[in-house]
Amino acid sequence: MVFFCTHPYLPTPTFVPKPHNLHLRSLFCLQSPIEPSSSSPSPTHSITTNNYNHLIQSLCSQGNLTQAFKLLPREASPTQRTFESLILACTRHNATSYAPAIDRRLSAADGLHHDPFLSTKLIEMYSHFSALDDARNVFDRTPQKTIFVWNALLKAIVVVSNDGEEALSLFTDMGGKGVHFDSFSYSYVLKACLASSLHVSVVLRRVRQIHGHVLRVGFDSRVHAATTLVDSYAKIGRVACARRVFDKMPHRNVVSWSAMIACYAKNGRHLDALAIFRDMMRDSETAPNSVTMVSVLQACAGLSALSQGKLMHGYVLRRGFYATVSVVNALIAMYIKCGSLDAGRRVFATMIVPRNVVSWNSLISGYGVHGFGKEAIQVFEEMISVGISPSPVTFVSILGACSHGGLVEEGRRLFDSMLKEHNLIPQSEQYASLVDLLGRAGQLDEATKVIEGMNIEPGPTVWGSLLGACRIHGNIELAERACSHLFELEPWNAGNYILLADIYAAAKLWEEVSRVKKLLEARGLQKLVGCSWIEVKKNLYSFASVDELNPQIEQVHALLTELVKEVREMGYVPNTKVVLYDLEQKEKEKIVLGHSEKLALAFGIISSQKGEVIRITKNLRLCEDCHSLTKFISKYTKREILVRDVNRFHHFRDGMCSCMEYW
């Protein structure tokens, strides 16, 4: 049952919603907010001189649970501190077998079996053991439910079951019973919103409502609550909202800074992530931790900023983070995504901490995006041989490697092994990888059969893979079929409309191109602007398509014009099929000449030394004309050029590309 009470800040609801459709205004029932000093209550320790109590507590602190439990029956009146010591030791040493014994002994203890402090500790212990039913039982039998008891169960539901709707329902119950929320209550309910299965727009509305409530009760100045708000906005892609919360924080700790850096890194704002990291380094009161460095390395990887990444590697070594597996995994991924596969492999080979499945996944993915499919399969087999069980992500990586290498039969065998050999049920991500593998190889009929034979409903990733394959092979009929699903599943994704328009444009179906563009405009969607990054002399530069803001743009255009003139004599012919306008050929050539990767390439030639590898990152798929022109320029200038697009690496040298025209 959902309870409500009135408060001057909030209107009285006129209806009782179902728990799975709760409106956040119904979640709050306020009185004067309280803010305890921590998320756990303070014990009311009784003073005793009994030697058994002291001895049991001492044994617990030493981790000797066996002896402590042998002495427990001899103590007629265990104190609150004794039970606390037993519960904490049991949790700390993962001693699940002792948990029921503690619970039973506590139930028989006069005056303590309903103690809210010990109930909180018991709920936290059962949560640690993922025993949610036992945690609920403790909660239900506790007559005096303090905010700490409520918060303990709220946190348990979010962490253990990841059931956002149940947690939100509990939060509503708290309000209905007049419980005074604290900042930790808001933190847990924000996490519950993110854990719910509702559409992102509904989640955003709930987060904003909670944010407004946090502001009204003055908890926005609390580091814990504000940091959770930053993280919540980050996870639903509202970077500007996260930054506003961050900027208004009167005090920040390492968790706050790390949350903001992660927000930028995970939402593709890599330059901003590095900029705020520099701001953090200027803050003498806060030093980065291992979590911070993972996000910073991800930002370096996102920009292919090898020099910046090497600097961060040095910092990791100086701070002693090399013993943290998540940091080392991030280093492996950083080097691979910066185009230095050998360096990534060296970091992997010299790990001083045990490798986990993420370590292996990084290496498998690295070989895959560089086009070394067979080597990726060898690493996969080596992982299995050393006893590491593959994860679902492993199969996305290995199937992607097979796709980039054209290893169709190997990929199908590995897909079939998921269930047969590793007891993993394929989900949308793995089916999407299989469809991409078959579609890229031109086996569109087989890819369609895979989709029709799926035992789950095909998601946008699956239909998106089919649409991408249709673009490569110019299959209009299947592209339209894929888009009929995609426009319904993700109507906000402009990329699907653009891909369909590309397919129509390649077939010179200009009326259909116009129809798709009008549909795009009617829905208020905009094409993602092509952007490329290049690192020169440890500085990062970004270029947008038809960029007029760069101070060297005239010099860049002049060099590009000269290069095109020279390579035309070598056989280069501009490919303008990606232009979505029915224009004269010369006008189309002007448009493709302004693509961001071409601008970045010309800038790299101007600004770098001869013999230096030019490294470019593109936020979209490399178009056919840019691919062709870069091959000719690599031969004409005798330069090695490394381009990473949204799918893979292209290693250009002497007029050839590592993809062998298969991308």
d(CA 188, CA 208): 15
Using CB atoms within 10 A of its CB, is residue 395 exposed (0-12), middle (13-18) or buried (19+)? buried
Residue in the block written with tokens 């918060």: 151
Q: For a pLDDT cut of 70, what percent of the chain falls above it? A: 92
Q: Which pLDDT score is estimated for 219?
A: 85
Average pLDDT estimate for 390-404: 96
What mean pLDDT, rounded, does the chain reach? 88
Per-residue pLDDT at 85 exceeds 70: yes
d(CA 652, CA 409): 28
Q: How confident is the model at residue 39 (pLDDT cuts 50, 70, 90)?
A: low
d(CA 103, CA 122): 8
Q: What CATH code would you report for 19-278?
A: 1.25.40
Q: Residues 401, 405, 407, 412: is their CA dihedral positive or negative?
A: positive
Residue limits of CATH 1.25.40 in the chain: 19-278
Least confidently predicted of 107-111, 318-322, 518-522: 107-111
Cα separations in angstroms, 459 against 430, 431, 591? 11, 9, 34
Per-residue pLDDT at 29 exceeds 60: no
pLDDT digits (tens, 9 = 90+) for 524-574: 888 888 899 998 888 888 898 755 555 678 889 899 999 999 999 999 999
Taking phi over 0 as left and psi of -120 to 50 as alpha, with beta for the rest, 10 belongs to beta
Average pLDDT estimate for 96-111: 86
d(CA 11, CA 25): 8
Q: What is the pTM of this model?
A: 0.80
Both tokens of 269, joined, read: 């704002």
pLDDT digits (tens, 9 = 90+) for 196-244: 777 788 889 889 988 998 898 888 888 989 999 999 999 999 999 999 9
Using CB atoms within 10 A of its CB, is residue 468 exposed (0-12), middle (13-18) or buried (19+)? buried
Both tokens of 310, joined, read: 């090497």
pLDDT digits (tens, 9 = 90+) for 570-599: 999 998 887 877 788 888 888 889 999 999
* Higher per-residue confidence, 615 vs 1: 615
Q: Which pLDDT score is estimated for 601?
A: 95
d(CA 44, CA 54): 16
d(CA 74, CA 50): 11
Q: Which pLDDT score is estimated for 560?
A: 93
Sheet holding 531-536, edge to edge: 539-544, 531-536, 614-618, 641-644, 649-653, 656-657
How does 285-321 read in b/e, with b if 16+ C-beta sit within 10 Å?
ebebbbbbbbbbbbbbbbbbbbbbbbebbeebeeeeb
Least confidently predicted of 103-112, 284-293, 313-322: 103-112
pLDDT digits (tens, 9 = 90+) for 144-154: 999 999 999 99
Residue in the block written with tokens 């991409």: 436
Cα separations in angstroms, 8 against 3, 129, 174, 216, 274? 17, 41, 18, 11, 44
Contact status, residue 597 vs residue 626, Cβ threshold 8 Å = yes
d(CA 556, CA 564): 12
Average pLDDT estimate for 49-61: 84
Report the first-to-last Cα separation within the chain, whole angstroms.
56
Average pLDDT estimate for 2-6: 35
Contact status, residue 466 vs residue 496, Cβ threshold 8 Å = no
Per-residue pLDDT at 188 exceeds 50: yes
How does 641-659 read in b/e, with b if 16+ C-beta sit within 10 Å?
bbbbbebbbbbbbeeebbb
d(CA 221, CA 214): 9
Q: Residues 427, 499, 598, 533: is their CA dihedral positive or negative?
A: negative
3-state secondary structure of 615: strand
Question: E strand or H helix at 644, and its extent?
Answer: strand 641-644
d(CA 202, CA 222): 26
Q: How confident is the model at residue 345 (pLDDT cuts 50, 70, 90)?
A: very high
Question: E strand or H helix at 610, and its extent?
Answer: none
Contact status, residue 270 vs residue 302, Cβ threshold 8 Å = yes
Q: Which pLDDT score is estimated for 344?
A: 96
Per-residue pLDDT at 631 exceeds 90: yes
Q: Which pLDDT score is estimated for 32?
A: 40
Q: Which pLDDT score is estimated for 297?
A: 98
Q: Which pLDDT score is estimated for 551?
A: 62
Average pLDDT estimate for 347-362: 96
